[in-house]
Chain A
Amino acid sequence: MPFREINSKMVEATVQPGAKIFSQRGAMLAYKGDVSFTPNIQGGQGGLMSMIGRRAAGEATPLMTVDGAGTVLFGHGGHHIQVITLAGDTLYVEADRLLAFDGTLQQGTMFMGSQGGVMGMVRGQVSGQGLFTTTLKGHGAVAVMAHGGVVEVPITPQRPVHVDPQAYVAHHGDIRNRLSTALGWRDMVGRGSGEAFQLELSGAGSVYVQASEEKL
């Protein structure tokens, strides 16, 4: 468990020799010990093909690798930070929300259309994820940024969760998501409730929701 939350906007990471941490460039606040920061051309893990994939998918955020021995404090832009621990499952998150993550996690890119075809792509547009999203898989911890505080909402098979697409941060577990619309004639004449689109998540896992509808 390399990340320790110091307060709602700051995490402390312990770096040990041989264990790498990826972090967003410029997100280091302070460090102790002998730690080096190297800009990562590939923007994360995998080889050249992963890099090209990320570039093409628009999921390439400027990352740097952090290695050495010491402790590093991370924080960025006054955003709230949520540390999510993964135990073998997959986290779906936008790449620009990633503050830092364990080098042991496997990073990938997912096409939104692969979950629900055209509706998946529409969903990506509405929730601001675009056509692609980043996946992190394995055992380790991820520090995710959000605007405003973060609430973890558990999802059980009996109880699907509806989330405002703008407040959606990330989700993990075995989740199916669907865009549910509540469009009526009121929306057509401009008298809608402003909540015409919702993400419906069902399955087993949890979804992280931010207390703001502002994007990063």
Chain B
Amino acid sequence: MNPNVSTPAGAPAVFDPMTLPSDDNVNAYTFCVELKGSQWFLQKGKMIAYYGRMEFNGIGHGRLDRLVRTSFHSPLHASDWVVAEGQGKMLLADRAFDVNSYDLDEGNLTIRSGNLLAFQPTLALKQSIVPGFLTLIGTGKFVAASNGPVVFMEPPIRVDPQALVGWADCPSPCHHYDHGYLTGVIGGVRALTGIGGTSGEEHQFEFVGAGTVLLQSTEALLPEQASGEVPRQAGVPGAGSAPGGAGQQSGAPRLPGQLGDLQRRFGL
């Protein structure tokens, strides 16, 4: 991975503060951030080691108020994030998931909240309208984890919700329902009796327009990080049943693979 380090074949590379890369991957699973008096936001528990003098302060720390005001716009998410500052190099990793850094140049990128490890304060973090996702806006670098390497695709594309890591520059996705096999005589019997089960692929996120969609190569998810609830307010998606809002959602949880909900959805 690192061309500066020459090792005998097969031997693991030994790093010291000088040979560790600066703001680059050490290997596929570890990322090294160099701090020169600068600051980085990172999610709690993702730092595995560091060299040098560094301070990790929670978002509530009084001295950081100004920084938080300019680049952290997810107040209810604050308890999951810390700010690292000082001199030295720190290593970030997340349960042997693949780690990569991405550069944004006056751009925007939306990412699943559990996949984001760290970002530079030159970027502004905001909550996406899509629940469970965070949007980064501005210029700078951020580090994200994914289960398996990230694959970049261009719209139009339909993505399984679990395989979606994020998207850049394209409009927010919409829901797409495949229910072709539930129509017709056989489909009707299937929908009414549940014989044959469901394909598990009735629901996708559909992306259209120009941009890039980031996929992870598996459906195993990183655990969802509480990205903070959005204010309970009419017109805000994901806010639950807003006062005076639509009340047709029943409170009963739906088991995966259960057809009842689909039937209702397709008016069968």
**Which residues of A does B touch, CB under 8 Å?**
6-10, 25-32, 36-41, 62, 64, 73, 75-79
- List, in ascending order, chain B residues with CB within 8 A of A39's CB: 181, 190, 196-200
Which A-B residue pairs are the 4 nearest by beta carbons?
A26-B200, A10-B217, A9-B148, A29-B163
Alpha-carbon separation in the docked complex, A42 to B190 (Å): 13
Q: Is the beta-carbon distance between B180 and A36 smaller than 8 angstroms?
A: yes
Of B125-133, B150-158, B231-239, the segment with at least 4 beta carbons within 8 Å of chain A is B150-158
A/B interface sample: 15 pairs, CB < 8 A: A7-B148, A7-B151, A9-B149, A9-B218, A10-B149, A10-B151, A30-B157, A30-B163, A30-B204, A32-B158, A36-B180, A64-B200, A73-B217, A75-B219, A78-B219
State which residues 196-214 of B face A: CB under 8 Å.
196-201, 204, 213
Q: Is the beta-carbon distance between B148 and A78 smaller than 8 angstroms?
A: yes
B42 → A minimal CB distance (Å): 24
Chain B, 167-186, contact with A by CB distance < 8 Å: what is the 0/1 string?
A: 00000000000101100000
Q: Is the beta-carbon distance between A7 and B217 smaller than 8 angstroms?
A: yes
Q: Is the beta-carbon distance between A31 and B158 smaller than 8 angstroms?
A: yes
A20 → B minimal CB distance (Å): 14
**Which residues of B does A touch, CB under 8 Å?**
147-149, 151, 153, 156-160, 163, 178, 180-181, 190, 195-201, 204, 213, 215, 217-220
**How many Cβ-Cβ contacts under 8 Å join chain A to chain B?**
101
| Chain B residue with Cβ nearest A11 | B217
- Which one of B156, B190, B213, B218 lies within 8 Å of A78 (CB-CB)? B218
- Which one of B149, B201, B213 lies within 8 Å of A28 (CB-CB)? B201
Q: Is the beta-carbon distance between A37 and B178 smaller than 8 angstroms?
A: yes
B138 → A minimal CB distance (Å): 28
| Chain B residue with Cβ nearest A79 | B218
- List, in ascending order, chain B residues with CB within 8 A of A76's CB: 218-219
Q: Is the beta-carbon distance between B215 and A73 smaller than 8 angstroms?
A: yes
| Chain A residue with Cβ nearest B256 | A26
B252 → A minimal CB distance (Å): 23
Q: Is the beta-carbon distance between A77 and B148 smaller than 8 angstroms?
A: no
Alpha-carbon separation in the docked complex, A183 to B198 (Å): 47
- List, in ascending order, chain A residues with CB within 8 A of B218's CB: 9-10, 29, 75-79
Q: Is the beta-carbon distance between B148 and A41 smaller than 8 angstroms?
A: no
Alpha-carbon separation in the docked complex, A39 to B153 (Å): 26
Q: Is the beta-carbon distance between A29 and B149 smaller than 8 angstroms?
A: no
- List, in ascending order, chain B residues with CB within 8 A of A37's CB: 178, 181, 199, 201
Alpha-carbon separation in the docked complex, A39 to B199 (Å): 4
Q: Which of A30, A32, A64 has the most CB of B within 10 A?
A: A30
| Chain B residue with Cβ nearest A26 | B200
Alpha-carbon separation in the docked complex, A170 to B98 (Å): 27
- Which one of B178, B197, B219 lies within 8 Å of A29 (CB-CB)? B219
B181 → A minimal CB distance (Å): 4
- List, in ascending order, chain B residues with CB within 8 A of A41's CB: 195-197
Given contacts A28-B160, A29-B163, A75-B163, contact A36 B181 (CB under 8 A): yes
Known: A41-B195, A78-B220. 14 other contacts (CB 8 A): A8-B217, A10-B151, A25-B198, A28-B160, A29-B159, A29-B215, A37-B181, A39-B197, A39-B199, A64-B201, A75-B148, A78-B148, A78-B218, A78-B219
- List, in ascending order, chain B residues with CB within 8 A of A29's CB: 159-160, 163, 215, 217-219
Alpha-carbon separation in the docked complex, A31 to B158 (Å): 5
Q: Is the beta-carbon distance between B199 and A30 smaller than 8 angstroms?
A: no
Given contacts A37-B178, A38-B181, contact A30 B215 (CB under 8 A): yes
A46 → B minimal CB distance (Å): 16
Alpha-carbon separation in the docked complex, A49 to B149 (Å): 42
B21 → A minimal CB distance (Å): 22
- List, in ascending order, chain B residues with CB within 8 A of A79's CB: 218
- List, in ascending order, chain A residues with CB within 8 A of B158's CB: 30-32
A149 → B minimal CB distance (Å): 12
